[in-house]
Structure 1
Amino acid sequence: MQILHIQSSILAENSQSRALAHKLIQHLSEQAQTPVTLHSKDLAQDPIAHLEARHVQAFHTPAEERTPEQAQLVAISDAFIEEVRQADLLVIDLPMYNFNIPSQLKAYFDQLARAGITFAYTPEGPKGLLEDKPVYLVATRGGLYKDIGLDYQVPYVHAFLRLLGLTQVHTLYAEGLNMPEHREISLQQAQTQIQQITLKSDI
């Protein structure tokens, strides 16, 4: 079983999303029916260039007409997409920064969204072209947002993953981490959520 772990926190080993994701991966690995291969991608340690006009131009230029620079830009995006294709499941660290996802993660998502490659426009709307697989989001927040109409983070990620064809999305929450009266309770609840996850027997 291949697990692709996407890390996006700028706090490195001090990140609660990363710590919880590691515990989740350990829990999933213990349930796996086959040996587990873990591939981690740290978007803060190895940042991806934000989307620019040169990327869009490269993506829309036929392969035989691309300049060497354009071919290199497309190859980087192709490699990211292939990593997702090869994975049996994804674990994504999802800290909230100013009501939304880290810009490093947005830059990565922009490399995955390729019309004609990972999704297609149809008369019925966009259709995902990636093979569906489980995706686990570890959503951490300093405050409380989930039930008061201020969660712009998780709905966006769910919508983006659906665009690619990834619909088996499971979200674990740890909120109020900067609020002393909520922090420990929230972390304990997140641990309970992890322990309740049951991996599909055919993975």
Structure 2
Amino acid sequence: MKKILVLKSSILDSYSHSNKMTDYLIENWQKNHKDDLITVRDLAKDPVPALDQATLFAFGKDVSILSDEQKSARALSDELINELKAHDMIVIAAPMYNFSISAQLKHYIDFIARAGETFTYTEAGAVGLLENKQAVVLTSRGGVHKDKPSDLIVPFLTQFLAFIGINDVQFIMAEGTAFGEEYAQQSHLQAQKEIDTVISTKNITAK
């Protein structure tokens, strides 16, 4: 049985192109692999708070000396990290907002990036602690940004995921969604073909 964690991060709910990609993957994965477990976390409907000084200090101190607010933040971070560790594949829905990821997804990243939990520092530099995991990033964008300097999502998420130990990453894109219904539909059809390949193999082709 494969365990898949799906992270939605769009503020547009049913209007979201990345949510449509994600829902397509979930529906068709469940049809083809009924024994697999899919966990969905919607970071827009159940947001992670912004990182502040008190929260950052809470991540590195003895729980017994923390304030109630800090304990709550620490508990949420523990929950998110344990959830991440418990799954084999991570599906990240990452719509492009102003050339990068949404604030909702960035807040999540800030809460799971913890020394001693998802990475550690060594004499040779930082080493990721999450092993034997794969990631699929479903990213939608109103324009066309693939392989261009304007796309900050691919380099950022590639860098961060490697930082915590996830190096098997595939990006599936629906681009030009603001160019009209026909263009958006064709973009989604191409993305769905790539998603179908992931589903049929229960694996990814890292790029």
Question: When the two structures are superposed, what TM-score results if normalisation uses the length of structure 2?
Answer: 0.89
TM-superposed deviation, 1:30: 4.2
Cα distance in 2 between the residues matched to 1:182 and 1:125: 44
Q: Are the aligned partners of 1:112 and 1:118 in contact in 2 as well (CA < 8 Å)? A: yes
The one of 186, 199, 202 aligned to 1:199: 202
How many angstroms does 1:135 deviate by? Answer: 1.1
TM-score after normalising by structure 1: 0.91
* Identical-residue share of aligned pairs (%): 38
- Measure how far apart 1:4 and its partner are: 1.1
1:53 has 2:53 as partner: yes
In structure 2, the partner of 1:11 is 12
Q: How many residue pairs are counted as aligned between the two chains?
A: 199
Q: Could you tell me which amino acid in structure 2 is paired with residue 110 of structure 1?
A: D
Which whole-Å deviations, capped at 9, do the CAs of 1:107-146 have from their partners, x for residues lacking one?
A: 0000000011110111222100122311111010000111
**CA–CA separation in structure 2 for the residues paired with 1:170 and 1:60:** 32
Within a 5 Å distance, the mapping from 1:48-87 to structure 2 comes to 48-87=48-87
Find the counterpart in structure 2 of residue 141 from structure 1: 141
Q: Which runs of 5+ in 1 are unaligned?
A: none
Q: Which has the larger displacement, 86-95 or 135-144?
A: 86-95
The match for 2:102 is 102
- Look up the equivalent residue of 2:192 and give its one-letter code: Q
CA–CA separation in structure 2 for the residues paired with 1:59 and 1:30: 40
Verify the 8 A CA contact 1:132 1:167 in the aligned structure 2: no
Distance 2:54 2:75 in 1: 14
RMSD: 1.6
Residue 23 of structure 2 corresponds to residue 22 of structure 1: yes
Give the conservation status (yes or no) of the 8 Å contact 1:91–1:138: yes
- Encode CA deviations 1:159-178: one digit per residue, 9 max, x unaligned: 11111111111110110010
Distance in 2 of aligned mates of 1:55 and 1:16: 32
Instruction: Extract unaligned runs of 5+ from structure 2.
Output: none
